[in-house]
Homo-oligomer: A and B are copies of this chain.
Amino acid sequence: MERLIARERTRQVKVGDVPLGGGAPVVVQSMLNAAPDDAAANLEQIEALAEVGCELVRIAIPRADCLEAFQKVCEGSPLPVIADIHFDPQLAIEAARRGAAKLRINPGNIGGLEAARPVIEAARSAGIPIRIGVNAGSLDKTLAAREDLTLPQKLVASAIDHVRFFEEECDFHAIVVSAKAHDVVATIETYRLLAGALPGVPLHIGITEAGTAFQGIIKSAAGLGVLLEEGIGDTLRISLTDDPVTEVRACYMLLSALDLRKRSPELISCPTCGRTQVDLIPLAQEVERRLAALDKPLKVAVMGCVVNGPGEAADADIGVACGDGVGVVFASGRIVCKVAEADIVSALMKEIEAL
């Protein structure tokens, strides 16, 4: 359990009713991309995200004329709503008054430490935490220009400056910190430094601007996988240039792969090879599609041949080991029937429903 220590020793904050840090389950969050002045569109997106298990949502408030919509979203949302603010501290203060469950401000562009003071007071009055969200693309200019520091050192320096101000100058401790870069190796190094320098502070982890789904998922799973495995990270967002619903699904897949959260069924399916004598790829995809609606952590194996097939099918809760145009269906380790290729999916689903 050594590897869980970093996560367990952070201080817990509450975002609405969601505990974050202090050994709570790693929280899954995403960010909306609907128009910020359209409350209905944002609420619709929140419903879709809640359905796939998203626990916190973040909304950008780029202008004062979006505050009214923000308030409506907070009032109607089934999930705690985080206000994402850049440049203008006044927007953060207003967001705190209008129902934000947490504020996210960016040290690089909020106007310096003193500009954060009234934001901190607004959060204190509202009883909500603040994320200090540093980003490589928007570092404070003086810090960005320093040639004696590496990018991870700059990101961490910016975060530490703000944490000290919040904690020591303002006696405000309900904080979460992030410091993201698009570079995976730099992000890993940054969070290791942060976890060492700020052992009590819950960390929000993510690879920023990770790209479209294929590249973004690989960069995020690799970088955040390394950190989570080291016990670093109390909440995560997988940033994709894609539908936020995909971000949330990817978060759960990653947490589930590392045994940190279990929500969805797991499909064990072989990559197919010259030994496979059924059309396995569409078969596995169909099983995956039908499993998507289930939110039980079942193990379902769809295997193409006799090499690992019987072993994996018997080891799973439900499984099928295929041969030449047939499938032998297993439930809880025992053979239950042998069916023709065309009937494999329905036979599997029947056993899954029976479970």
Q: Which A residues contact B (CB, under 8 angstroms)? A: 31-36, 42, 58-62, 66, 84, 86, 106, 109, 135-139, 144, 182, 184-185, 188, 208-212, 214-219, 221-226, 229, 239-242, 244, 247, 249-250, 253-254, 257-259, 266-276, 280-281, 284-285, 288, 301-303, 305, 307-309, 311-312, 315
Contact of A267 among B31, B211, B305 (CB under 8 A): B211
Q: Which of A244, A249, A257 has the most CB of B within 10 A?
A: A257
Contact of A35 among B84, B274, B281 (CB under 8 A): B274
Q: Which residues of B contact A241 (CB under 8 A)?
A: 269-272, 280-281, 284-285, 302
Given A211-B288, A284-B212, A288-B211: A247 touches B226 (CB 8 Å cut-off): no
Tell me, rounded to whole Å, the shortest Cβ–Cβ distance linking A7 to chain B: 15
Is the beta-carbon distance between A34 and B253 smaller than 8 angstroms? no
Tell me, rounded to whole Å, the shortest Cβ–Cβ distance linking A350 to chain B: 21
Contact of A271 among B219, B229, B247, B307 (CB under 8 A): B247
Q: How many angstroms between the C-alpha atoms of A217 and B288 in the bound complex?
A: 15
Tell me, rounded to whole Å, the shortest Cβ–Cβ distance linking A109 to chain B: 7
Is the beta-carbon distance between B223 and A226 smaller than 8 angstroms? no
> Chain copies in the assembly?
2
Q: Which residues of B contact A267 (CB under 8 A)?
A: 211-212, 215
Q: Which residues of B contact A288 (CB under 8 A)?
A: 211-212, 215
Given A138-B311, A182-B268, A241-B270: A36 touches B275 (CB 8 Å cut-off): yes
Known: A184-B259, A218-B250. 20 other contacts (CB 8 A): A31-B273, A34-B274, A84-B273, A136-B312, A137-B308, A137-B309, A137-B315, A139-B311, A144-B311, A182-B268, A184-B257, A208-B270, A211-B268, A212-B281, A214-B217, A226-B226, A240-B271, A241-B285, A241-B302, A242-B271
Q: Which residues of B contact A305 (CB under 8 A)?
A: 62
Q: How many angstroms between the C-alpha atoms of A254 and B225 in the bound complex?
A: 12
Q: How many angstroms between the C-alpha atoms of A276 and B58 in the bound complex?
A: 14
Q: Which residues of B contact A275 (CB under 8 A)?
A: 36, 60, 62
Given A209-B271, A271-B31, A284-B212: A312 touches B137 (CB 8 Å cut-off): yes
Q: How many angstroms between the C-alpha atoms of A86 and B275 in the bound complex?
A: 10
Task: Pull 22 A–B residue pairs with CB atoms less than 8 Å apart, ordered by A.
Answer: A33-B276, A34-B274, A35-B274, A59-B273, A61-B274, A136-B308, A137-B303, A138-B307, A138-B308, A182-B268, A182-B312, A185-B257, A209-B271, A214-B250, A218-B221, A218-B250, A222-B225, A222-B254, A223-B225, A241-B280, A242-B271, A247-B271
